[in-house]
């Protein structure tokens, strides 16, 4: 790897962000930072943060920005993030996206940042999410709610990045290996 790489995965629940992020993090030897995983871990351990966020996560609502922003700042400031990172589940609204831009400047992380939007049709997402139900927040109602919240809060983030940064759209309605291939091409071509 020549430069430090930052990868931001956008895309609805069920698009495959987690799968791709995990794989590419290993490939690039940089940390995979999933805000969903961090929050679920905190809930499991019933930490102060976990108790504060549990009801939001169970409902499929975004947790308040003030809780997420501190968490991201601490995480990106850690030693292992100094050679790059993959963000999965953050930013999820425009305020978080703006915060991230400022944070990267503040932390002096002038990385090559790729913003990738994984595109998958809504009916495919619903099917995938119902088939692979693994989590407590995975029932039909919370899944549709999460998709709804994504439309309202996170789709504007795609526009934000389209205007302010280079945004890559990748067809996520293919096999994981094919999607990985496209992502690797993006990273190595630039």
Residues of the shown chain interacting with ligand ADP in the complex, contacts defined by CB under 6 A: 13, 35-36, 39, 56-57, 60-63, 68, 89-90, 92, 96, 146
Q: Which is nearer to ligand ADP, 78 or 135 (CB)?
A: 135
Q: Which of 85, 102, 91 is nearest to 150 (CA)?
A: 91
Q: Which is nearer to ligand ADP, 60 or 172 (CB)?
A: 60
Find the residue with minimal CB distance to ligand ADP: 36
Q: Which is nearer to ligand ADP, 2 or 96 (CB)?
A: 96
Q: Which is nearer to ligand ADP, 25 or 62 (CB)?
A: 62
Q: Which is nearer to ligand ADP, 32 or 92 (CB)?
A: 92
Q: Which of 45, 20, 43, 22 is nearest to 33 (CA)?
A: 22
Sign of the torsion formed by the C-alpha atoms of 153, 143, 119 and 2:
positive
Q: Closest distance between ligand ADP and the C-beta of residue 3, in Å? A: 25
Q: How many Å apart are CA 100 and CA 89, to the nearest integer?
A: 13
Q: Closest distance between ligand ADP and the C-beta of residue 106, in Å? A: 18
Backbone angles phi, psi at 141, to 5 degrees: -65, -50
Alpha carbon of 94 to those of 41, 69, 152: distances in Å?
25, 12, 11
Q: Closest distance between ligand ADP and the C-beta of residue 1, in Å? A: 26
Instruction: Give every CB contact of residue 102 below 8 A, 6+ residues apart in sequence.
Output: none
Q: Closest distance between ligand ADP and the C-beta of residue 190, in Å? A: 26
């Amino acid at each position: 790897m020549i430069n430090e790489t930052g990868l931001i995965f956008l895309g609805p629940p069920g698009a495959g962000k987690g799968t791709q992020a995990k794989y590419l993090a290993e490939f690039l030897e940089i940390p995979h930072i999933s805000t969903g995983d961090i929050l679920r871990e905190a809930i499991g351990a019933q930490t102060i943060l976990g108790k504060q966020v549990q009801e939001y996560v169970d409902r499929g609502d975004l947790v308040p920005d003030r809780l997420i922003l501190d968490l991201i700042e601490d995480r990106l400031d850690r030693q292992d993030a100094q050679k790059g990172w993959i963000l999965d589940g953050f930013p999820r609204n425009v305020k978080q996206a703006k915060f991230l831009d400022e944070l990267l400047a503040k932390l002096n992380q002038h990385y090559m940042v790729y913003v990738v939007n994984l595109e998958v049709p809504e009916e495919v997402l619903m099917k995938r999410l119902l088939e692979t139900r693994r989590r407590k927040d995975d029932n039909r109602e919370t899944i549709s709610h999460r998709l709804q919240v994504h439309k309202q809060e996170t789709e504007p983030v795609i526009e934000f990045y389209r205007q302010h940064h280079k945004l890559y759209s990748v067809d996520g309605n293919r096999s994981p290996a094919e999607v990985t291939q496209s992502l690797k091409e993006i990273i190595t071509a630039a």
